[in-house]
A and B are shown apart, each in its own frame.
Chain A
Amino acid sequence: MSFLTAFTMICCLIIMGTCALLTLNVQQIINVLEDENQMVAFVDEALSDEEARAMEKELLAIDNVSEVRFVTREEAMVNFLDRYDDNSLFEDVDSSVFRNRYLIYVEDIVFMEQTQNDLAGVYGVAKINALLKVAKGFVTLRNILGVVALSVFVVLFLISVILMTSTMKAAAHIRATEISIMRMVGATKSFIRWPFVLEGMLIGLFASLCAFLLQWGGYNLLAENISGALSFITVIPFESIIIPVLVAFCAVGVLEGMFGSVGAVKDRPRK
């Protein structure tokens, strides 16, 4: 019975772990994409180059702005022309057509709109280009992912706890005589309970260690295949998060064992 429980717990833990690691990786991909989602603040033409450069401090002082990069109109033109193979089309274009500009990177795209408004208030900022829809899309994706992962986690946690309870109830049933004698001679509730709680926690620990090792192997196998087939995705190397993952596995397993076994030995109500 406890073997079966451990086995089921291992399965649940691996699904939980996969969910969490998947979330973590998607999170990381989103982060990379987010970082590229910068805003462009165009500087009013009326300002001289020196004045334009002087705005940097003020822009940096705004909440949620992590980094700003000044791009001169000459650079802007070069970047623009680079995008086209056939430069001859724009031969006559002069850099004065372009405005000086800042690339603005934000810390959290959730507050992008607010930041955009703040930036607009800075003297010398003529116009701001921001892909708010894209930013909102990322935020939604992040939220959905979080909710899904959390629900899977909660459901599997509850399943493991319920399973552990029935296992420990069976164990307590086998030792019913012993327990009734302990009650009769005046053992405290916690004294009777703790061996079961300890056993539950040990089963949980055992299950989490097994699940951890399997997860490790499975993850690296999958990571190799993914980076082989989809080279643009960078998978977080397992070894870089090994300690937090191990701790998380053990904590979840032990907690499942604890919560599951605490309810196994009930006080008989006085009739």
Chain B
Amino acid sequence: MITLKNVRKTYENGADALKGINLEVADGEFIFIVGPSGSGKSTLTKILTGEVCPTDGEVVVNGFDMNRIRRSKLHKLRRTLGIIFQDFRLIENKTVYQNVEFVMRVLGAKPRKIKERVRYVLELVGLDHKMRCMPEELSGGEQQRVAIARALANNPKLIIADEPTGNIDPELSRELMALLVEINKKGTTVLVVTHEEELVNEFTNRVVVINSGRIVRDGTGGYYGNV
């Protein structure tokens, strides 16, 4: 599913964001990527989504070799991914329903299938009763749940979430994380980036700790491996 071998990333301004990352994520896994600010977490996710090119090393995501893939073929990789951002990125003038429907329409799904699927994913995140609301009428946690529903809409193999709880309060964050774990149990691989120690400690999943562009710990047992 995800294979990283000796991956390095040096930005044009000379910033060494990643200094040799080796990581293997199997199908169906749930993994936290944690680490202090500026350690290279976002850079890592951007390499996985094809937004950023690795400077060196091997990267394979869902069977796509990120060193070889052409820009014109990037959309094929993206169709296998569900991406969730810290700032939700909902379309403000569309309802909750339309926001989810939109991404299915973009990929040309049939109207009947769209109707079914949108209802299903909104139910899954517990927002089917707010389908007709506009994003601004929702709380931060609810907005992020819409974003998760949207990421699920096209039935991705892998969900990549960069600080999905960065803009919501701790109580809701835990619920949201539980939701992602739930989704993972249905078979989707999930990779969550966060720097919230306490949140990570509540789960027993695999944790990869990055510091200054290097993996310093990889295992279970919370942020420090002592939970």
Q: Which A residues contact B (CB, under 8 angstroms)? A: 177-178, 180-189, 191, 267-268, 270-271
Contacts and interface: CB of A to CB of B under 8 A. Distances in A.
B2 to A, nearest CB: 17
B73 to A, nearest CB: 10
B53 A271 contact: yes
A189 B106 contact: no
A188 B89 contact: no
Given A177-B91, A271-B11, A187 B52 contact: no
12 contacts: A180-B89, A181-B89, A181-B106, A181-B150, A185-B83, A185-B103, A186-B74, A186-B77, A186-B79, A187-B75, A187-B106, A189-B75
Given A178-B91, A191-B106, A267-B71, A185 B78 contact: yes
B53 A186 contact: no
Interface string B74-111: 11111101010000011110000000001100110000
Contacts of A270: 50-53, 71
A264 B41 CA distance: 32
Most buried by B among A177, A185, A267, A268: A185
A184 B83 contact: yes
Most buried by B among A183, A187, A270: A270
Contact of A185 (B51, B79, B90): B79
Contacts, number: 55
Given A186-B81, A187-B106, 11 more contacts: A177-B92, A181-B102, A181-B103, A184-B78, A184-B83, A185-B78, A185-B79, A187-B75, A188-B75, A189-B75, A270-B71
Contacts of A184: 49, 78, 83
B50 A185 contact: no
B72 interface: yes
B50 A186 contact: no
Contacts of A185: 78-79, 83, 103, 106-107, 154
Q: 7 tightest A-B contacts by CB? A: A186-B78, A186-B79, A186-B75, A185-B103, A187-B106, A270-B53, A184-B83
A182 B104 CA distance: 10
Nearest to B54: A270
Contact of A182 (B81, B90, B106): B106
A191 B76 CA distance: 13
A80 B90 CA distance: 91
Contacts of A177: 89-92
Nearest to A185: B103
Given A185-B78, A185-B154, A271 B52 contact: yes
Contacts of A189: 72, 75
A120 B2 CA distance: 87
Nearest to B104: A185
B12 interface: yes
Contacts of B150: 181
A181 B90 CA distance: 9
Nearest to A178: B91
